[in-house]
């Protein structure tokens, strides 16, 4: 059973978050609903132009794990990505295949009309 979220305060609550990095978990917590419903809300927000889907790549190095880059589509992710943090730390390996990196989907809030 899906819990129907109360969306009356959704927009004002979202504005209190970092509008450039909104995760499904943020929406789930704000709406006090299930993850499945929060994903549906995010997809609907994308379709209505409120959110834009984004993807970040995390460095696979266990002692780094930094966000290396963000992209607005999976297709725009290059095959190889340089981790500037690993490079500055003097690590021998600082160029990684995109398939080695953890891809994290998040959303960017696109409406700024008050």
* pLDDT tens-digit series, residues 53-97: 999 999 999 999 899 999 999 999 999 999 999 999 999 999 999
Helix, coil or strand: residue 70: strand
Angle, nearest 10°, between helix axes 24-31 and 35-47?
110
Judgement on whether residues 60 and 92 belong to the same structural domain of the protein: yes
Q: Write out the residue range of the structural domain in which residue 30 sits.
A: 10-53
Mean of pLDDT values over 27-43: 92
Place of tokens 């978990």: 25
24 occurs within a structural domain: yes
Alpha-carbon distance of 14 to 26, in angstroms, equals 8
71 occurs within a structural domain: yes
112 occurs within a structural domain: no
Residue whose C-alpha is closest to residue 19's, from 31, 27, 9:
27
Between 11 and 68, the more confident residue is: 68
Confidence tier at 16 by pLDDT (50, 70, 90): confident
Domain count for the chain: 2
Judgement on whether residues 48 and 59 belong to the same structural domain of the protein: no
Mean of pLDDT values over 92-112: 92
pLDDT attached to residue 8: 61
pLDDT attached to residue 6: 57
């Amino acid at each position: 059973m899906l819990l129907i979220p109360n969306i009356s305060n959704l927009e004002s609550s979202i504005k209190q978050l970092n509008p450039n990095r909104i995760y499904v978990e943020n929406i789930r917590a704000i709406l006090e609903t299930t993850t499945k419903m929060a994903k549906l809300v995010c997809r609907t927000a994308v379709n209505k132009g409120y959110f834009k889907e984004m993807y970040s790549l995390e460095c696979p190095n266990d002692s780094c794990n930094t966000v290396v880059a963000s992209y607005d589509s999976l297709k725009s992710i290059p095959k190889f990505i340089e981790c500037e943090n690993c490079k500055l730390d003097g690590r021998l390996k600082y160029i990684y295949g995109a398939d080695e990196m953890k891809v994290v989907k998040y959303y960017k809030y696109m409406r700024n009309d008050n």
